[in-house]
Chains A and B, each alone.
Chain A
Amino acid sequence: MTNRLLALLACALLCAPAALRAQDPRLDARLDARTRDAVVGLIDSVRAEGIPSEPLVQKALEGASKHADGARILAAVHKLAGELGDARAALGASSTDAEIIAGASALHAGIPPAALARMRASRAHGSLTVALAVLSDLVARGVPGDTATTVISALANAGAPDAELLQFQQGVERDIAKGATPAAALGVRAQSAFPRAVAPRTP
């Protein structure tokens, strides 16, 4: 890993002509020159792949505000760039920045790229941003990944609007806060999310 970072740093300093570099005064103001050059070089090198740069700038600024050292900042930006790239690949090149960002968080939470691609395939219209964000947060909370993916995908496919997905997430969080296991909380909420007419009832 360190070798790759050094290679990137070297590339950033030597290969990128100054004129093509991302000029962002925010980075100039908050990062030391060496870190800034490395981060800028990294952002430049991935921008060509259609990866949104603002999240990378924000990650660097976050590190600066939290007084992290340059190497750690660069590593974080690099990792995020990878996740954004993978998300874009899984979700498709016509995805919005917001979808890519949410997709990256889902990948980070351990959702496999194939699941992202499946969600894209089944919800042809409408944004996946909120569905992916809700999925990330549920999995981060301890809900098993494949169950969460199944339920959120089903809700999204059924045309659940974003507000409903967010309410669903809040419901699960509330139940977990009351002592339910994450899996149980998801199960109960999933049951009530789908209309009675779907489930057969026994007297």
Chain B
Amino acid sequence: MELSDAALVDIVLRGESEAYARLVARYRDRYARFALHMLGNREDAEEALQDAFVRAYRSLHRCGDPARFGSWLLAILANRCRTAGGKRSRHERRFVSAEDRHYAIALDHPANASEWREEIARALARLDVDQREAFLLKHVEEMEYEQMSMVTGAGVSALKMRVKRACERMRRMLTEGEDAPTR
């Protein structure tokens, strides 16, 4: 029987910590995808996601609405991705300040990486973090703006502007090969 998020949260809060594994299994792959596109490499994405799951468990009692555990967890993950120090790629172990983040371009997709996918990854990496986040939530997670607002803490009109700008830039980069830096 498939238990709802609210039911599972309730079970975990009553002391059955092992039940948390079912929530992990439920959101793991989908949110790993989000983290991967935010951070640009698999290692960092899995570390960030692992971290987010553990944080969510430790503050589970503060989850306002257990039925919306998924959004709440995503908010924690999104925040973590924004401030991720991360391990960077195995080849690059420099610490980069928050002001000039560069994301490892190397993608790690299940199938062979095609040129098109690499171009997309490069373009995504060039967006600033607000735009990338909004773009992914809208077009990949396919969320409504109200939900995005709850996940990110930003207002709906600000989010719409970010998505618009992200789309414009992505379009330009991918059709005209624009190489301009962010901002």
Contacts and interface: CB of A to CB of B under 8 A. Distances in A.
B89 to A, nearest CB: 12
A180 B83 contact: no
A188 B83 contact: yes
Contacts of B94: 178-179
Contact of B95 (A180, A195, A201): A180
Interface stretch (B22-30, B33-41, B155-163): B155-163
B10 interface: no
A141 to B, nearest CB: 14
A196 interface: yes
A171 B85 contact: yes
B112 interface: no
A203 B83 contact: no
Contact of B58 (A164, A174, A189): A164
Interface in B136-178: 152-155, 158, 161-162
Contacts of B161: 203
B85 A174 contact: yes
User: Interface residues of B toward A: which range?
Assistant: 20 to 34
A197 B83 contact: no
B97 interface: yes
Contacts of A16: none
A150 interface: no
B95 A203 contact: no
Given A161-B58, A188-B83, A201 B162 contact: no
Given A161-B58, A164-B58, A196 B153 contact: yes
A150 B85 CA distance: 21
B53 to A, nearest CB: 14
Give the interface centre of B83, B88, B130, B158 by most chain A CB atoms within 10 Å.
B83
Contacts of A94: none
A196 B84 CA distance: 13
Contact of A196 (B79, B93, B130): B79
Interface residues of A, number: 19
B111 interface: no
Contact of A178 (B58, B75, B79, B95): B95
B98 interface: yes
Nearest to A179: B95
Given A179-B95, A203-B155, A188 B58 contact: no
Nearest to B59: A195
A175 B95 CA distance: 7
Contacts of B153: 196-197, 201
Interface in A166-203: 171, 174-175, 178-180, 184-185, 188-189, 191-192, 195-197, 201, 203
Given A184-B97, A188-B85, A201-B153, A196 B75 contact: yes
Contacts of A203: 130, 154-155, 158, 161-162
7 tightest Cβ-Cβ pairs between the two chains A and B: A203-B158, A192-B83, A178-B95, A180-B95, A179-B95, A196-B79, A175-B85
7 contacts: A161-B58, A175-B85, A178-B95, A185-B95, A188-B85, A191-B83, A195-B79
Given A179-B95, A192-B79, 10 more contacts: A161-B58, A171-B85, A175-B85, A179-B94, A184-B97, A188-B83, A191-B83, A201-B154, A203-B154, A203-B158
Interface of A: 161, 164, 171, 174-175, 178-180, 184-185, 188-189, 191-192, 195-197, 201, 203
